[in-house]
């Protein structure tokens, strides 16, 4: 309670600043930075954001820090076209390009130019909590990025650009923060960073953080309060070495560890039970009234431990008219989570073991991926052409291991399955921009990739379930695949700061073997592919006042990958089927109407639907999906507006106040199967609106006090809901309740 009272006091100070703002705004300094000044590396070279012929959003480290947005789930709804359906890489989508389920990712996640996690669904880690102390910015590229970034970027990519050491000056930052959740408890955060120039050819930097999020979920099953705890810490160390004037070497090490209980990775087991009518009527449509009370779950506790390590070595050699870049990386991601699956397997195991009552059942999922990648490229410029040629290699070793743990009326391990596998890819790519005139450019790109996969399923089954989940033993699987992706993009610059572009680009996602799948399922599945047609306009339309970025797009998607589930055993597999398309409009603007004021707004209209009947699975089951049905998790309308006013208070003290208003429309859940057990209608998650408020003080440009309230009106927006393809009682993960926060920082 003391933490809540303290943060409430800070909120009162925020209100006082709001009342004072109009009188102070007249004297605000003209130091705003517009979108035209943002430099990004979306095309593997430094370019102004308004010069890149791609629909792209950039979120700065300053924005993440001042608004205390630590996770992608905190700010995804501020980025046009970005959808969030859970805390895994495979649950992130752009422009509606997803079928839900645990298929391979459709959005590539990169740390600098190194892919995070694996390319396939095997061993996929949870989304990382890269702290703002290590990040320079986050770039989100919409539309397929297959030519420069390869597989698994059907919808686009998210790129975390980390800070590099600098030889210019000694600098650093330290911050202490506190949070309090309405209806819950308190949390805290610590973060710091430092840059040390050792000489004119050597600099080192380091950053670290420790965070405990404020919990707010009660557990009716265990009679515990505030059970969704989350403890995250990590660090990054980097060194810049310049042996000669034209050679830069950057070495980096990044570590992160998460310990959580009842985290949002266990949505089905740890989510809030909703729809009271569904408990007694297995045909009832889903409503979103909690069964066990507000912000209350009803399940066995879920434990989650995740670790991530990344080591990189980058070399940049400037040859004058050309530059050579080499990036070597090794990473490892490990994730273990237990989930309550009593509702899924309890009845089956009770019957197979002849038990009097249904046992408690948990599943322990252990995902791990370690990989090495090497990229070598050379880029150059001439008066007529800008060009880039490169090669890429990766070897990934991953595994998804599962263990069923039965307790209560019976004890034991009915099912132990390990799924080790490897993914090896070789690729070559090229990109050429022809400067036809001073204003007109044409870009061409292409990439050829070949991959080989090898997977195994190792099963150890109790005699009681032998034949239901398969048979004890080892099953191998192999596949290979090749793909060519391409792009063509003419661009016209009306002025140096205003341009229009047409972009036609393709992307693909690898296929692979089905290992450990139920009887009758296909032994493998193929790749799926997209072609994106896009017309864009961006630029500084009114200097020092208005910058806009708009795009019209259509994505045609064929052979879409879908995850199937056997209705008896709940074992999953992947197969191809049907076609889909996504079309829409995205618009964003930055307005600086007067000194110290900055307004950012965006809106996205997305129509992502099936265009051909989707998969009819082997064995007579399949998905309910006909032309016109919406793809999962995409809202037809989503948008946000943020505004911030900076103003001077006295010669040494400045203030700021701002708000964010976010709207997310209704979204359909996963596709239903057409099996007899899938009796509930497909879920439609309702839309919601959230209002955030923030304010701050800056003393002597170095000392900063920040205050904020997230979800000011304490809305219960639905983040994700699931009923296991219509066969179980629905559960939902709601957005965070009202969160109060305060931070205190020193820059030096």
Tokens of 161: 């650009």
What is the model's pLDDT at position 621? 55
641 to 63, 147, 293, 548, 558: CA distances (angstroms): 14, 33, 32, 14, 35
Structural domain including 511 reads 2-747
Q: CA-to-CA distance for 722 and 736, rounded, in angstroms?
A: 18
Q: Tell me how many domains the chain contains.
A: 1
What is the model's pLDDT at position 555? 97
Place of tokens 């990386």: 329
Helix (H) or strand (E) holding 158: strand 156-162
Q: CA-to-CA distance for 91 and 101, rounded, in angstroms?
A: 8
Helix (H) or strand (E) holding 361: strand 360-381
Question: Residue 110 — φ and ψ, nearest 5°?
Answer: -120, 145
Q: Which of 573, 483, 480, 515 is nearest to 398 (CA)?
A: 515
What is the model's pLDDT at position 214? 95
Q: Which of 582, 584, 491 is nearest to 538 (CA)?
A: 491
Q: CA-to-CA distance for 469 and 483, rounded, in angstroms?
A: 34
Place of tokens 């209704």: 666
Burial category of 727 from C-beta neighbours within 10 Å (exposed 0-12, middle 13-18, buried 19 and up): buried
| SS3 assignment, position 731 | strand
Q: Give every strand in the sheet of 272-273, ordered side by side.
A: 272-273, 731-734, 718-722
- pLDDT digit string, tens, across residues 4-45: 444 344 434 333 333 333 333 333 332 333 334 678 888 898
Place of tokens 């009306």: 494
Helix (H) or strand (E) holding 640: strand 637-650
Q: CA-to-CA distance for 634 and 363, rounded, in angstroms?
A: 29
Rounded to the nearest angstrom, the gap between the alpha carbon of residue 299 and the centroid of all alpha carbons in its chain is 26
Residue 728 bridge partners (DSSP): none
Tokens of 283: 């045909």
| SS3 assignment, position 409 | coil
Buried b (16+ CB within 10 A) or exposed e, 94-128: bbbbbbbbbbbbbbbbbbbbbbbbbbbbbbbbbbb
Contacts of 211 (CB under 8 A, 6+ apart): 70, 129, 131, 187, 188, 189, 190, 191, 230, 231, 232, 233
- CATH code of residue 719: 2.40.170.20
Contacts of 697 (CB under 8 A, 6+ apart): 17, 649, 653, 654, 655, 656, 704, 705
How many contiguous H segments (helices) and E segments (strands) does the chain have?
Answer: 7, 43
Contacts of 42 (CB under 8 A, 6+ apart): 52, 54, 56, 139, 141, 159
Is residue 575 within 8 Å of 563, Cβ to Cβ? no
Place of tokens 């920082």: 745
Place of tokens 């608004």: 67
Q: CA-to-CA distance for 113 and 72, rounded, in angstroms?
A: 18
What is the model's pLDDT at position 617? 52
Question: Residue 223 — φ and ψ, nearest 5°?
Answer: 60, 35
Is residue 691 within 8 Å of 663, Cβ to Cβ? no
Give the residue ranges of the chain where pLDDT is below 70. Answer: 1-37, 266-270, 408-411, 516-520, 565-571, 615-623, 674-678, 725-727
Residue 361 bridge partners (DSSP): 406
Is residue 604 within 8 Å of 589, Cβ to Cβ? no
Strand positions, DSSP E, 246-321: 247-261, 272-273, 296-297, 303-318
Is residue 419 within 8 Å of 574, Cβ to Cβ? no
Strand duo 156-162 + 107-111: pairing? parallel
Half-sphere exposure of 256 (CA within 13 A, CB side): 25
Place of tokens 């090497």: 374
């Amino acid at each position: 309670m003391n933490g809540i009272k303290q943060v409430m006091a800070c909120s009162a100070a925020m209100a006082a600043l709001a009342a004072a703002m109009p009188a102070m705004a007249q004297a605000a300094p003209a130091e705003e930075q517009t979108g035209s000044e943002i430099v990004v590396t979306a095309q593997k070279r430094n370019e102004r954001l308004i010069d890149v012929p791609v629909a792209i959003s950039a979120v700065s480290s300053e924005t993440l820090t001042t608004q205390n947005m630590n996770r992608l789930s905190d700010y995804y709804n501020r980025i046009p076209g970005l959808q969030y359906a859970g805390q895994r890489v495979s649950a992130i989508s752009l422009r509606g390009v997803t079928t839900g389920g645990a298929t391979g990712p459709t959005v590539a996640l990169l740390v600098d130019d190194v892919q995070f996690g694996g390319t396939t669904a095997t061993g996929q880690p949870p989304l990382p909590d890269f702290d703002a102390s290590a990040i320079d910015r986050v770039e989100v590229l919409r539309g397929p990025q297959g030519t420069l970034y390869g597989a698994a970027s059907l919808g686009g990519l998210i790129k975390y650009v980390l800070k590099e050491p600098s030889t210019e000056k000694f600098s650093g930052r330290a911050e202490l923060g506190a949070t309090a959740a309405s209806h819950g408890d308190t949390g805290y955060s610590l973060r710091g960073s430092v840059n040390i120039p050792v000489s004119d050819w050597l600099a080192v930097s380091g950053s670290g953080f420790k965070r405990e999020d404020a919990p707010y979920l009660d557990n009716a099953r265990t009679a515990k309060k505030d059970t969704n705890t989350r403890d995250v810490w990590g660090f990054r160390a980097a060194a810049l070495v310049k042996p000669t004037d034209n050679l830069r070497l950057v070495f980096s090490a990044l570590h992160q560890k998460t310990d959580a209980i009842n985290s949002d990775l266990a949505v089905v087991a740890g989510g809030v039970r909703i729809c009271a009518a569904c408990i007694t009527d297995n045909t009832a449509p889903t409503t979103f009234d909690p069964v066990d009370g507000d912000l209350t779950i009803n399940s066995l506790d879920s434990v989650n431990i995740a670790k991530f390590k990344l080591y990189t070595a980058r070399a940049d050699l400037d040859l004058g008219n050309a530059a050579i870049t080499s990036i070597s990386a090794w990473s490892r991601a490990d994730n273990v989570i237990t989930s309550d699956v009593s509702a899924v397997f309890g009845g089956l195991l009770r019957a197979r073991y002849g038990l009097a009552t249904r046992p408690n059942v948990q599943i322990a999922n252990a995902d791990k991926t370690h990989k090495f990648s090497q990229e070598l490229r050379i880029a150059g410029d001439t008066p007529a052409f800008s060009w880039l040629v490169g090669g890429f290699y990766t070897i990934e070793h991953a595994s998804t291991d599962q263990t069923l743990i039965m307790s209560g009326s019976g004890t034991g391990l009915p099912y132990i399955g390990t799924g080790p596998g490897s993914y090896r890819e070789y690729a070559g790519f090229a990109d050429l921009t022809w400067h036809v005139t001073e204003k007109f450019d044409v870009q061409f790109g292409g990439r050829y990739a070949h991959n080989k996969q090898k997977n195994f399923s190792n099963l150890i089954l109790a005699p009681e379930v032998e034949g239901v989940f398969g048979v004890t033993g080892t099953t191998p699987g192999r596949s290979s695949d090749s793909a060519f992706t391409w792009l063509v993009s003419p661009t016209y610059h009306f002025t140096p700061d205003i341009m229009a572009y047409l972009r036609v680009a393709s992307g693909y996602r690898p296929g692979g073997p089905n290992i450990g799948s139920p009887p009758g399922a296909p032994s493998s599945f193929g790749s799926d592919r997209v072609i994106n047609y896009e017309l864009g306009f961006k630029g500084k339309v009114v200097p020092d006042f208005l910058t806009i970025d708009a795009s019209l797009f259509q994505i045609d998607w064929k052979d879409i990958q879908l995850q199937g589930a056997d209705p008896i055993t709940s074992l999953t597999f992947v197969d191809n089927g049907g076609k889909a398309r996504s079309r829409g409009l995205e618009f964003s603007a930055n307005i600086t109407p007067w000194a110290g004021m900055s307004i950012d707004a965006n809106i996205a209209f997305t129509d992502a639907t099936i265009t051909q009947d989707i998969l009819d699975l082997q064995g007579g089951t399949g998905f309910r999906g006909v032309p016109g049905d919406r793809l999962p998790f995409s809202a037809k309308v989503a948008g946000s507006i943020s505004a911030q006013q900076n103003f001077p208070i006295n010669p040494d003290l400045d203030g700021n106040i701002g708000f964010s208003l976010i709207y997310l429309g209704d979204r359909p859940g996963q596709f239903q199967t057409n099996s007899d057990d899938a009796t509930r209608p497909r879920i439609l998650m309702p839309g919601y609106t959230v209002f955030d408020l923030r304010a701050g003080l800056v003393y002597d440009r170095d000392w900063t006090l920040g205050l904020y309230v997230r979800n000011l009106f304490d809305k219960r927006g639905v983040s994700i809901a699931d009923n296991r393809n219509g066969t179980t009682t629905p559960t939902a993960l709601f957005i965070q309740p009202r969160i109060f926060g305060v931070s205190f920082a020193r820059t030096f």
